[in-house]
Structure 1
Amino acid sequence: MKANRVEKHIIYPKNPYYQMLDEYCFKSKNIYNFANYQIRQKFCKEGKYISYNQMDKLLKQEGMDNDYRNMPTAQSAQQTLKLLDKNWKSFFKAIKDWNKHKEKYTGRPKLPKYLPKNGRNVLVLTSQNCKLKDKKIIFPKGFNGLTLKTKVDNLQQVRILPRNNHIVIEVVYQIEIPETRKDNGRFISIDIGLDNFVTIGNNVGVEPIILNGKGLKSINQYYNKKISHYRQIAKRMNKLDYTKKMNKLT
C-alpha cells in the first residue's frame, strides 16, 4: 500500500526567490477570488453553478482575469480553480445534508468565502511542472532557475504555502507501507502528560519508561509568558498581532 508523505523547505524573506514566490501566491489568491465572484453571481442570480471546466475556459478568454494567463504554468492556475471547485462541491454536499438533518447544524451552510484582499493562497505545481534530477527539484522556467535539494526519489506535487514571515514549500512524495503484522499478543501503552511527558508500559515484562516533562513544561510556560507580553506591546504601540520579535521567539 502506498501513502503520501511531505518534505518541507522553509523560504525566508532574505531568500532571493521569496518575493517571486510571494507574488505567485498573491496571484493565486486573485484567481481564487475572481473565479469565486463569477460563481457566486451565477449561483445567486440564476441558481446555476459554473463547473471547473467552464471556468477554465472562461478565464482563458481575452479581457478576463490576466493573472490566470500570467501564472508560471497553466497547471498551477488550474490547480487554484480545482481547489475552489472542491470547496463549492463541499458546500453543495453540506446543503444537501442540511436539508435532511437540520438538527445537526447551527444554521444554513454558507457559500465559500472570499480570501482576504491582501492575503495569499497556496500555489500547487504538478509532477508535470517540476522535475527530479540528481536529487534536485527543478522548477519550471517561470521560477527563474529555482531548484531545491531533496531526499525524495519520486514526486507527486509541490505545494507553495504562504505563512507569517516565511513560505513553506512542501514536496509531496509516496512511500510503500508494509502490511500490518498479525496480532501477536504483545502490546505497549503510551500515556502523554505534563510532569511526566511520556509514560510507556507493556505486557511483556520490560521495564516501563518515564520521560520527565518538567523541562519542556517550563519552556512552554516561558514562551507563553513572553509571547503574551510582546503581543500586548505590539497591539498597544503598533496595532499589530504579530511582529518580527515574536517570530524570532517562535
Structure 2
Amino acid sequence: MQPSAGYGVVVGNCQAESVRLVIDSPEMPTIRTRAVHEMTADDARDLHELLRGASFLVSQPIRDDYHDLPLGTAQLRASLPSGAPTVVVPVIRFAGLHPFQVAIRMHDLEYEPPLVGYHDVRLLAEAAGSPVRARLPREKIRAIADESVGELARREQHTDIRVSDLFASPRFAQMRTINHPGNAVFLPVGERILRALGRRPEPTDPGRPILSSVRAPREDWVIEAWGSDAAPHHDWLVNGDPLPAAQVREAHLAWYAEHPAFVEAAARRLVPLLAQWA
C-alpha cells in the first residue's frame, strides 16, 4: 500500500518510533520504519524509495555507510525531493536518575546480559574484582547528571533540536532507563520538531506511556538526592511485570563470569564513572 501524499519519515534507534508518535497527525502523517540498527540492505533500499516521495525527514545523527549500508543522515537527505526539510534530533541519554546504570555496545564482543540489556556499574565493579560503594552521595549524583547534560549539549551542536535544558530539574517521569525517555521528554521534543518544520507546535499525546517496556529500579537515595516525591521501587518492570533485582543480579554476575573479556573491556571504558563510585 502506497503512503498518502505529504507524509514524513522518522529514522533512528529505539527512540525514533516514540518521536514519530508525538509528531504524527492526520494533517501531517508519518511513516513507521524499522530501527536503523535492525535494517537490512532491502530495508535501506526501501527507505530511500520511501524518501523520494516524502515531504520531510526527521533523523537522529547517523554516520555515512552505517553498518555498511547507505543509512547516514546525509545519505538519506539526498533522497528527499528538492526543498523537503530535514530535522536532526539528538539521541537522548540521561544518567542523573539512574547513576548506577550503563548501556554499552562492544562491536567485537558479546555485550548484552540476560533479562535486561543494561549493566549496573556496581555489579561490573564486583565482577572486575574492584567492588565499589552501594550508593552515592548527593553531590556525586549531581556530578553524573551534569556530565549527562554536558554530553547532550555537545551532541546538540550537530543537531537542530535542543533537549539538554529539559533536565534542569530531573523527574522520574522523564526517563524509564538511562536511554529510554518517557512522555514527559518526548512531548516537548515533539513540539520543538514541529516548530522546526514550520508547523503548529502541538504534539500528539499518544494517550499511553511510550517506550515503557523496560523500567529500571528507582532507588530511594536517588529520589532523596533530587527531592522527589516519587515512590521507590527496587525491582525492574519488564512489559509491566515485576522482575526482582536479586534475580537480575544473580543472572548478570553469572554472565560476567562467563564473559571475562567483556568485564575487562567495560571496566576500562568506564574508568571515569567508576571513579565516581570508588
Specify the TM-score bucket, using the shorter chain as the normaliser.
Answer: under 0.3
Higher share of residues assigned strand: 1
Report the structure number with the largest CA radius of gyration.
1
TM (norm. structure 1) is 0.22
